[in-house]
Structure 1
Amino acid sequence: MALIHGSEEVISHEEDMVGAFALLYHHVFSYIKPMALKCAVELGIPDAIHRRGGAATLADIAADTGVHASRLTDLRCLMRLLTTSGMFAATAASDGGEPAAATSTVYTLTAASGLVVGPRGLSTVVRFAAGPVAVSPFFDMHAWLRAAPAAARSLFELAHGRSRWDAANADNDTMNAHSFVESQLLIEAVLRDHAGVFRGLGSLVDVGGGHGAVAKAIAAAFPDIKCTVMDLPHVVADAPVSDDGNLHLVAGDMFQSIPPADAVLLKYVLHCWGDDDCVRILRNCREAIPAREAGGKVIITELVLGSSASPRDANVAEAEDMHSLFLMCISGVGREEREWRAIFSDAGFGDYKITPVLGPISVIEVYP
């Protein structure tokens, strides 16, 4: 038996001690994984492998990304971690039964690394989420948890002296690009695998829809749906798209009223607001839509912590909790299904349906 130093607790099996240390070290050094992925993205490794038909040796990667010849051992160390963690796959080639040299290992893309390939990939998400502006607030998390609410509205604000949404933030372009690409990926997944969410609708209003990219995709897939994008006046004024066929832009305030439609879309809106504000928004949505029998509903895309709608593996569960903690950092809210249910009930809705669509993100159809 082994005694943990400074503790009364006794670990009775050597395997428990090995597992305990492995878990502790996994947490202590887990920050290295996003740093390694960010390095790979900055070097252009996923794109380099993609350009070579989806497979490349270490020498190929070095040649295509400008890695210095003296750094091949270090590059192999980077690729080993990213392979072990599932971002890439590796096959050790051999000739005549002899093991191949490490530099002959062939690296291939996985579904995860494929998501950061190309201009429409999620490389902007990696650059933002693993960048200093997003990471540094978490160094102050203990101070944030001890601080009175008046000290700062969010952990981000405590660290940077301004909110995440302040126009003066130097990384706003990266954040906006991140949001645009992620929204495109989400709506493509919904339209490809869950298009029934929109079938039968004659009209839809995308509240907080920005410049209309998501509504435009819906309008293209369903030409019979009259799509309206509602956002604040300054957002609509700067929109690069104009009214076109079944897509229209209107200025408004979701806390005042919402244009009438068969369905209201709230994409990544409600996590920015507290429960009372969510109820106010949803009551305005309910006023805007017809009864359920006439096709009325609210379509919400949000994180649902521990959703019982579908079995979740460990990676999805951990992604949910990390996403929730990030939302806390920027004054957002991650909610469990029971918390969503209470909000829907308080807003006067009678039923809902949760469909997981993209990692920890679900579509919630809420019915009057």
Structure 2
Amino acid sequence: MGHHECNANEIFEGQVHLYKHLHDHAVDGMSIKWMIELGIPDIMHNHDQPITLIELVSILQIPQTKVRGVKSLLRYLAHNGFLQIVRVHHNTEEKEAYALSAASQLLVKGTDLSLAPMVELLIKPNAAHVWSHLKKWTYEDGVTLFDVSLGSNMWEFLSKKPKFNESFNEAMACDSQMMNVALRGCNWVFEGMESIVDVGGGTGTTAKAVCDAFTNVKCTVFDQPHVVEKLSGTNNLTYVGGDMFKSIPKADVVLLKLILHDWNDKDCKKILENCKEAISGKGKRGKVILIETVINEDQDEHELTGLKLAMDVRMTCFLNGKERSEEEWKKMFVEAGFQNYKISPLTGYLSLIQIYP
């Protein structure tokens, strides 16, 4: 066995580690999707107090032979932090009941902060088909996992599949709602600004939040023509179609929210140069604001780094993009001709980066 003889315990630990990841992979996303499809977060939310297994299966009208299976799924979800198991007193006896956790609270449908659309987008039956081409992708020069598995890049795929595109836009919009919670605490970032352009701003979720918070700021949502063509603005919100690689509308602030991680360094440099052009002549006011992940393994908790590294794999494989460390961001800012930058925490996994010309 090479230089290091494993003792039996190490061998068994290795097996547990391997099996955990093999089983998790199949069960994790699907059990979350199952919970949403059955409407369990909504039932629990409306129930106002922890709910027992008996109450839950009776509301869901589950056949007796499947009660044990439902309990098995709920117990797994609880172990993973998607439910809380609490003890309740029922008449004279003590019973086990389930309550929502912070994570499953975000799966209640129809609330402002519901992330259910993100689950719909990421947990798709055909996702396994896409990932199964990873070996082929490794040897195909320059092409993405989307090209290898579906024969077109992700943006083409979205423009050709209206249903999938809708699901994508809904997921991005619900992710933006989370961002808006964070931006409310960031008034200082937008102080004294007269105009903002949100590049790749999609259907305008973030821009609307900015407009609500700063009624005297003119907001422009800039995205591909097919994204914005059917959208109508308000008195301080306009939608403009175009191509960020050609030019970006002029403004005091250019906002790029989770855009640059979709692109390689060369493309990002081009986008940032166009941003710099868009804020030129704005004096002290002009700046570019990025909302992005910063990989920081020395400081982040193990689980948070795990999320960032998983996102990096997804961005790299799907889009030839990447998640970046502070050193990588800094190098890019300098190459695009910026003098200075400042990174502040924003949400659990995102940072706010201000770049100055």
TM-score (norm 1): 0.87
Q: Residues 169 and 202 of structure 2 are in contact (CA less than 8 Å); yes or no, is this contact kept in structure 1?
A: no
In structure 2, stretches of 5+ residues that fail to align are: none
**Which residues of structure 1 form unaligned runs of 5+?**
1-5
Note if 1:197 corresponds to 2:161: no
The residue type equivalent to 1:108 in the other structure is: A
Q: Distance in 2 between matches of 1:130 and 1:305?
A: 24
- Which of 305, 322, 329 is the aligned partner of 2:310? 322
**Deviation for aligned residue 1:294:** 1.4
Structure 1 equivalent of residue 207 of structure 2: 215
* Bigger shift: residues 80-89 or 123-132: 123-132
Following the alignment from structure 1 to structure 2, what is the Cα–Cα distance between the partners of residues 294 and 352? 14
Instruction: Encode CA deviations 1:37-88: one digit per residue, 9 max, x unaligned.
Output: 1111111111111110152111222233343232111111001111111111
Is 1:111 the equivalent of 2:102? yes
Instruction: Kindly report which structure 2 residues correspond to 1:1-368, keeping only aligned pairs within 5 A, or say none.
Output: 9-12=4-7, 14=9, 16-31=10-25, 32-93=27-88, 100=94, 104-120=95-111, 121-149=114-142, 153-165=143-155, 166=157, 167-169=159-161, 171-191=164-184, 193-239=185-231, 241-242=232-233, 244-290=234-280, 294-306=284-296, 311-331=299-319, 332-368=321-357
Contact 1:129 1:135 in 2 (8 A): no
Q: 345-354 or 329-338: which moved more?
A: 329-338
Give the conservation status (yes or no) of the 8 Å contact 1:124–1:178.
yes
Equivalent residue of 2:133, what SS? helix
Name the CA distance, whole Å, in 2 between partners of 1:77 and 1:306.
36
Cα deviation code 1:130-184 (max 9, x no counterpart):
21233321122122112333xxx21122112222222223522222211111112
- Contact conserved, 1:307 with 1:337, CA < 8 A, in 2? no
The AA in structure 2 aligned to 1:22 is V
- Larger deviation, residues 287-296 vs 196-205: 287-296
Cα distance in 2, alignment partners of residues 133 and 198 from structure 1: 41
Q: What CA deviation, in whole Å up to 9, does each residue of 1:241-286 have, x standing for no partner?
A: 32x2221222332222222211101112212222111111111111
Displacement of 1:198 in angstroms is 1.8
**Cα distance in 2, alignment partners of residues 128 and 140 from structure 1:** 19
Distance 2:121 2:249 in 1: 34
Percent of residue pairs bearing the same amino acid type:
34
In the TM superposition, residue 118 of structure 1 has moved relative to its aligned partner by: 1.9
Over 3 Å counting, the alpha-carbon distance change for 1:97 and 1:59 in structure 2 is closer
Aligned partner of 1:296: which letter?
G
* CA-atom RMSD in angstroms: 2.4
**For residues 284-324 of structure 1, what are the alpha-carbon distances to aligned partners after superposition, in whole Å with 9 as ceiling and x for unaligned?**
1112225796122111112222277xx42222111111111
Spell out, residue by residue over 1:195-215, the C-alpha distance to the aligned partner (whole angstroms, 9 max, x if none): 322222221111122232211
8 A contact 2:251–2:278 mirrored in 1: yes
Any conservation in 1 of the 2:50–2:86 contact (CA below 8 Å)?
no
Runs ≥4 residues deviating over 6 A: 95-98
Contact 1:292 1:367 in 2 (8 A): no
**Residue by residue, what CA displacement relative to the aligned partner does 1:11-31 show, whole Å, maximum 9, x if unpaired?**
3583x4554333222211121
Q: Which moved more, 1:275-284 or 1:127-136?
A: 127-136
- Is 1:54–1:109's contact at 8 Å kept on the other side of the alignment? no
User: Shift in Å at residue 117 of structure 1?
Assistant: 0.9
Distance 2:283 2:13 in 1: 55
Contact 1:204 1:228 in 2 (8 A): yes
Secondary structure of the structure 1 residue equivalent to 2:160: coil
Q: Deviations over 1:304-352 (max 9, x none)?
A: 22277xx422221111111111112321322222211111110011222
State whether residues 93 and 106 of structure 1, in contact with CA within 8 Å, keep that contact through their aligned partners in structure 2: yes
Of residues 268-277 and 82-91 in structure 1, the stretch that sits farther from structure 2 once superposed is 268-277
Could you tell which deviates more after superposition, 109-118 or 139-148? 139-148
Which residue number corresponds to residue 3 of structure 1? none
Judged with a 3 Å threshold, the aligned counterparts in structure 2 of structure 1 residues 42 and 82 are, in CA distance, closer, same or farther, namely same
Distance 1:70 1:177 in 2: 36
